[in-house]
């Protein structure tokens, strides 16, 4: 059973050989630590780690799934050890300055009221032609031959 067949069968409540099991990626400093703990050095990407750990795989769909236009990303506040940043989606979070990767500590989000939603709702315009890759027809042909599910995600490792 392919990973794609497993996902489709699971979503339709049919029996499968095992429950789909995927990782969403790995923090930048995770493989470095794992290499020190015995992970083979050639396992140096999310795809290779998924294969090594025998996770179900997925194919990434390229394109711009973010806000168009995005908010202007900027540093809101900076101290000796951290930065408060507002990113393109308009989310404000804390980022450590020492370079280690971590789950963000979120401080604020762009939508809290109906008025904010009404000002925001133009940004996720699905008809914006800049969202789609130029080679979409070739990519669609490749996707038809896949054995894995499609996912919009970014590689982390």
- Residue 47's pLDDT is 82
Average pLDDT (16-25) is: 87
| pLDDT score of 13 more than 80 | yes
Average pLDDT (111-135) is: 85
Q: What is the pLDDT of residues 46-68, one digit of tens each?
A: 888 988 998 887 777 777 777 88
- Residue 157's pLDDT is 32
CB atoms within 10 A of CB 77: 11
Q: What is the pLDDT of residues 89-100, one digit of tens each?
A: 999 999 999 878
**How many residues are listed for the chain in this entry?**
157
| pLDDT score of 75 more than 90 | yes
| pLDDT score of 41 more than 90 | yes
Answer yes or no: pTM beyond 0.75: no
- Residue 152's pLDDT is 61
Direct distance between the N- and C-terminal alpha carbons of the chain, in angstroms, rounded to an integer: 27
Instruction: Report how far residue 13's alpha carbon sits from residue 8's, in angstroms, rounded to the nearest whole number.
Output: 9
Q: Are strands 58-60 and 149-151 parallel, antiparallel or unpaired?
A: parallel
């Amino acid at each position: 059973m392919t990973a794609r067949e497993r996902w489709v069968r699971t979503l339709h409540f049919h029996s499968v050989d095992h429950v789909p099991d995927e990782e969403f990626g790995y923090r930048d400093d995770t493989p470095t630590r794992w290499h020190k703990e015995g992970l083979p050095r050639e396992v140096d990407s999310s795809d290779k780690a998924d294969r090594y750990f025998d996770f179900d795989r997925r194919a990434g769909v390229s394109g711009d799934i973010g806000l168009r236009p995005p908010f202007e990303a900027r540093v809101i506040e900076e101290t000796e050890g951290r930065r408060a940043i507002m990113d393109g989606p308009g989310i404000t979070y804390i980022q450590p300055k020492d370079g280690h990767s971590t789950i963000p500590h979120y401080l604020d989000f762009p939508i809290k009221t109906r008025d904010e939603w009404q000002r925001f709702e133009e940004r996720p315009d699905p008809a914006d032609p800049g969202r789609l890759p130029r080679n979409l027809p070739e990519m669609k042909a490749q996707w038809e031959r896949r054995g894995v599910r499609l996912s919009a995600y970014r590689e982390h490792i």
